Amino acid sequence: MLKLGVNIDHVATLREARYRGRGHGEPDPVEAALICESAGAHGITAHLREDRRHIQDRDVWKLRKVIKTRLNLEMANTPEILGIALKLKPDIVCVVPERRQEITTEAGLDVVGQQAALADARKRLNDAGIEVSLFIAPDPAQIEAAGRVGSQFIELHTGSFAEGFSKRWGEAAHEPKRSANEPAREDAPPTGSPELLRLISGATQAHALGLRVNAGHGLSYANLPALRHVPHLVELNIGHSIVSRAVTVGLEAAVKEMLRLMENYPE
């Protein structure tokens, strides 16, 4: 079954917009995480950025304590954040780029350029019992390098796919269906889109290398059905679309709607 990790960074972004530096405030990303879990999410994702622009240290420690599913900590590979991860012991770390020199042209992590440093961090995290994922563009050279680093997972960057989808289908494509009777956009035929083809071949290549494959960034109620063409997916990490939908229908309903759409992914 395709799993859903809900990224709660955007809940913290809203809190920080009003309460930055105050050590408290609403909405509480930890409370949101618990609602996501009780709605059926398989994991919670939070990105502790070097600049702490949304998730704060206190959030990840509380999350570690209270969530019952899997905690996926997104982080840059820096000494400070790596040190926190090794103490926090999330179930999995997803290494993401935060600085310009760490990213490839498609904005995923430049694994080729940082292979030795990533292999070292990967080993330290694995030795502490933490699985490792690398957030990369569906680029054959980056996927091969991820295999050499020895991470357990990659997370395929779906940003270009999502952008291409909304260009082809217009902004309305981002709107979820309004009623249960309205068919999902399963018939949306982006199978010929170059971004989708890159995801398909990236997932195939990674699977052949023994990597497990997650995907995320820019996924929405509208573009998600097209992902059923991408093989071997284990988990999707979705934040913005779910948190946005929650503003109108509530977080529990928003998570459940996404899970329902994901049921169409082939076993």
* Residue 176, token pair as written in the block: 């979820």
Task: Name which position in 39, 199, 239, 257 contacts ligand PXP (CB under 6 A).
Answer: 239
> What is the torsional sign of CA 175, 216, 56, 72?
positive
Which of 7/160 has CB closer to ligand PXP? 7
Residue 186 among the catalytic residues:
no
Q: Look up residue 211 and give its two tokens.
A: 């990597």
Q: Which is nearer to ligand PXP, 22 or 99 (CB)?
A: 99
C-beta of 115 vs 166, nearer to ligand PXP? 166
Interaction mask 22-61, ligand PXP, x per CB under 6 A: -------------------------x--------------
The answer to the question of residue 3 lying near ligand PXP (CB under 6 A) is no
User: Of 76, 71, 75, whose CA–CA distance to 42 is shortest?
Assistant: 71
Active site residue 74: yes
Q: Considering only CA atoms, which of 189, 190, 204 is closest in space to residue 161?
A: 190
User: Is the preceding omega at residue 27 within 30 degrees of 0, hence cis?
Assistant: yes
Residue pair 63/43 in contact (Cβ under 8 Å)? The answer is no
238: contact with ligand PXP by CB under 6 A: yes
Longest dimension (CA), the chain: 52
Q: Is the CB of residue 70 less than 8 Å from the CB of residue 5?
A: yes
| Binding region for ligand PXP (CB under 6 A) out of 18-26, 117-125, 233-241, 258-266 | 233-241
Calculate the CA 229 to chain-centre distance.
Answer: 18
Q: Count residues contacting ligand PXP (CB under 6 A)?
A: 16
From the candidates 10, 174, 217, 257, give the one annotated as an active-site residue. 217
Return the range that interacts with ligand PXP (CB under 6 A); candidates 113-121, 140-148, 237-245, 251-259: 237-245
Residue 52 CB, nearest distance to ligand PXP (Å)? 15
Q: Judged by CB, which is closer to ligand PXP: 95, or 127? A: 95
Residues 6+ apart with CB under 8 A from 234: 2, 3, 153, 212, 213, 214
Rank residues 65 and 265 by Cβ distance to ligand PXP and give the closer one. Answer: 265
Angle 121-127-132 (CA atoms, 0-180°, nearest 5)? 50
Contact residues for ligand PXP, defined by CB under 6 A: 7, 47, 74, 94, 96, 135, 155, 216-219, 237-241
Task: Cite the active site residues.
Answer: 47, 74, 217
